[in-house]
Amino acid sequence: MGRLVVLRQMAHRFAFVGMVAFAFGLMLLGKADTLLVERARVAVTDAVTPILDVLSRPASVIAEVVENVRELAQLRAENGRLKAENEKLQHWQTVARRLEAENRVLRGQLNFVADPDSAFITARVVGDTGGAFVHSMLISAGSRDGVRKGQAVLAGEMLVGRIAEVGQRSSRILLLTDINSRIPVVVETSRAKAILGGDNNDRPKLHYLSTSPPLSPGDRIVTSGHGGAFPAGMAVGVVAAVTEGGVRVEPFVNRHELEYVTVVDYGLSGVLPSDREAARRKGGE
Partner 1 sequence: MKPSLVNRMDIWARHLVPFGLTLCLLLVNVTPTRIPGFAGVAPMLPMMAVFYWAIFRPDLLPAWVAFVIGLLFDVVSGTPLGVNALVLLLVQGVTSAQRRFFLGNTFVVAWWGFGMIAAGASTLAWMLVSLLIDGRIAFRAVLFEYLLTVSLYPVVAWVLARTQVMLLRQA
Binding residues for partner 1 (CB under 8 A)? 15-16, 19-20, 22-27, 29-31, 37, 40-41, 44-45, 48, 51-52, 55-56, 59-60, 62-63, 125-138, 172, 179-180, 199-202, 254-259
Taking the least distance from each CB to partner 1, the nearer of 126 and 235 is: 126
Radius of gyration in angstroms for the set of CA atoms belonging to the chain, rounded to a whole number: 24
User: Measured between alpha carbons, how far is 69 from 1 in angstroms, rounded to an integer?
Assistant: 69
Beta bridge partners of 119: 265
Q: Is the dihedral of CA 157, 160, 163, 167 positive or negative?
A: negative
**C-beta of 22 vs 112, nearer to partner 1:** 22
Query: What are φ and ψ of residue 25, in 5° steps?
Result: -60, -45
Please identify, using beta-carbon distances, which residue of 259 and 277 lies nearer to partner 1.
259
Output the smallest distance, CB 77 to partner 1, in A. 21
Number of H helices, E strands in the chain: 4, 12
Min dist. Cβ of residue 16 to partner 1 (A):
6
- In the complex, the smallest distance separating the C-beta of residue 53 from partner 1, rounded to whole angstroms, is 10
Nearer to partner 1, 130 or 273 (CB): 130
CB of 73 to partner 1, least distance (A): 18
Residues 185, 196 contacting (CB under 8 angstroms): yes
Collapsed DSSP state (helix, strand, coil) of residue 285: coil
- In angstroms, what is the minimal distance from the CB of 103 to partner 1? 39
